[in-house]
């Protein structure tokens, strides 16, 4: 487990781009953090770190956005409105889990705790003392 402090959206993106270098196929990132914490911002940095050029936006309406990188395909989920197994199934979550190139990054992962019964990485983003400060705690399997 490692805790980082960032002081701007750019700094959060840079941190995430560095984190991306340590990620591999099959990794699942479960975010913890409220609205405006910086989950989408962090995902933008992951995408940049994977060499993805397209703009990353919140998957609020589509529930999942797919970005093909050179090494990994990033699946960015918003589980805000997911209420159970049937909802989750309809997002394609289980199909993407079995994609051998997949990296999953999941906003509002609290809502799918019932499905996160395997080892995964948690990225918790909380406000810091200053206005643009964020405290980002990454818990994983020793890589972070």
Residues forming the site for Mg ion (CB under 5 A):
39-40, 58, 107
Alpha-carbon distance of 98 to 59, in angstroms, equals 21
Please identify, among the stretches 30-38, 82-90, 94-102, 111-119, the one whose residues bind ligand ADP according to the rule CB under 6 A.
Answer: 30-38
Q: Under the criterion CB under 6 A, does residue 109 sit at the interface with ligand ADP?
A: no
Is residue 9 near ligand ADP by the rule CB under 6 A? yes
Residue 40 in the binding site for ligand ADP (CB under 6 A): yes
Rg of the chain in Å (alpha carbons): 14
Residue ranges of the alpha helices (H) in the chain? 9-20, 39-49, 85-90, 93-97
The correct pick among 83, 85, 113, 132 for binding ligand ADP (CB under 6 A) is: 132
**Chain contacts with ligand ADP (rule: CB under 6 A):** 6-9, 11-12, 33, 35-41, 58, 107, 132, 134
């Amino acid at each position: 487990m490692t805790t980082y402090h960032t002081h701007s959206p750019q700094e959060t993106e840079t941190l995430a781009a560095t984190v991306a270098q340590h990620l591999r196929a099959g990794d699942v990132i479960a975010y913890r953090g409220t609205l405006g914490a910086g989950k989408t911002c962090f995902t933008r940095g992951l995408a940049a770190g994977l060499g993805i050029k397209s703009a990353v936006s919140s998957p609020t309406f589509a529930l999942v956005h797919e970005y093909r990188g050179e090494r990994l395909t990033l699946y960015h989920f918003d589980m805000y409105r997911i209420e159970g197994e049937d909802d989750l199934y309809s997002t394609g979550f289980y199909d993407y889990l079995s994609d051998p190139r997949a990296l999953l990054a999941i906003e509002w992962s609290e809502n799918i705790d019932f499905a996160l019964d395997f080892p995964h990485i948690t990225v918790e983003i909380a406000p810091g003392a200053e206005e643009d400060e964020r405290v980002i705690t990454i818990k994983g399997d020793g890589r972070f």
